[in-house]
């Protein structure tokens, strides 16, 4: 990334990196406060309710959510986002979780999460409690197929291309992909989800309010949102975020 150019996304990434303190993909941070936990799968239970807090604190191994006063460790942010699974305060969820076998560890550990509102679902651990993000260096193949990964959700009959001005680029609150709102040349406001910030920044792709952008996008029926397939910014940089077979164009 060019040092002389700090876009809105770059600033957001720096802030997110400081907050998330996530380890590199396929690896885990070990801290003295939070030893590696092995969930007690025999005592797994379902916790339904509303997400009252999403805690992404500095130095944490991975974030936690609070549901009905139960604090549940989830998974690295990159794994959730790259599986197209989002969580925020106020979401209605059903979480299958298990207690830790580590003495003194009072957290529950999520095995599977269903987001009732967005009708998405993600599996985080296998039957033995092993995290799926550690399989094959965190590749998507370790996760169970379903609406949570977005495959089969894109309505390809709605593919459209629009050119306009960026009204807003936002990171979102909780665990979410950044989103873009563009005002087209006809005055229409079009909102869409983008992709992980690291993918945009790795491609030297920058966006900020007032920039000209051309977006190829489609409607995602599972979440009732538009998602960007390809973007071209005012610098002439083009990035493909999703392929014609609906798979994300990132690993």
Q: What pLDDT does residue 226 have?
A: 92
- pLDDT value for 78: 77
Give 152-240's CATH code, choosing from 3.40.50.300, 2.40.50.140, 3.50.30.10, 3.90.1150.10. Answer: 2.40.50.140
In the structure, what pLDDT confidence band is assigned to residue 126 with cuts at 50, 70 and 90? very high
Contact 200, 184 (CB under 8 A): no
For residue 246, is pLDDT > 90? no
Rounded to an integer, the average pLDDT of 190-207 is 83
Domain limits of the chain?
15-149, 152-240
| End-to-end Cα spacing for the chain | 20
Distances (CA, A) of 141 to 48, 49, 137, 220: 27, 29, 10, 21
Q: Which option is the CATH number for 15-149: 2.60.40, 2.40.50, 3.40.50, 2.30.38? A: 2.40.50
Same fold: 15-149 with 152-240:
yes
With 0-12 / 13-18 / 19 or more C-beta atoms within 10 angstroms meaning exposed / middle / buried, residue 170 is middle
Least confident piece of the model among 31-40, 71-80, 87-96: 31-40
Chain segment 94-125, per-residue pLDDT in tens: 999 999 988 888 899 999 999 998 888 999 99
pLDDT at residue 10, as a whole number: 36
């Amino acid at each position: 990334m060019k040092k002389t150019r700090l876009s809105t996304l770059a600033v957001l990434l720096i802030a997110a990196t400081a907050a998330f303190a996530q380890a590199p993909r396929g690896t885990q941070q070990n801290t003295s406060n939070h030893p590696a936990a092995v969930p007690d799968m025999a005592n797994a239970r379902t916790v339904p309710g509303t997400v009252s807090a999403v805690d992404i604190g500095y130095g944490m191994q991975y974030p936690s959510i609070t549901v009905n006063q139960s604090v549940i460790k989830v998974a690295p942010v990159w794994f959730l986002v790259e599986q197209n699974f989002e969580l925020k305060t106020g979401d209605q969820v059903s979480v299958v979780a298990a207690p830790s076998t580590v003495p003194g560890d009072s957290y529950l550990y999520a095995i599977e999460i269903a987001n009732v509102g967005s009708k998405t679902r993600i599996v985080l651990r296998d039957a033995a409690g092993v995290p799926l993000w550690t399989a094959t260096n965190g590749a998507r193949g370790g996760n169970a197929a379903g609406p949570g990964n977005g495959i089969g959700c894109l309505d390809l009959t709605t593919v459209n291309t629009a050119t306009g001005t960026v009204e807003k680029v936002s990171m979102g609150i909780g665990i979410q992909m950044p989103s873009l709102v563009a005002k087209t040349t006809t005055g229409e406001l079009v909102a869409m989800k983008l992709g992980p910030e690291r993918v945009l920044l790795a491609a030297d792709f920058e966006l900020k309010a007032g920039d000209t952008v051309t977006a190829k996008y489609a409607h995602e029926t599972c979440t009732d949102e538009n998602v960007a397939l390809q973007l071209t910014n005012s610098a002439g940089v083009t990035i493909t975020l999703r392929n014609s077979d609906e798979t994300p164009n990132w690993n």
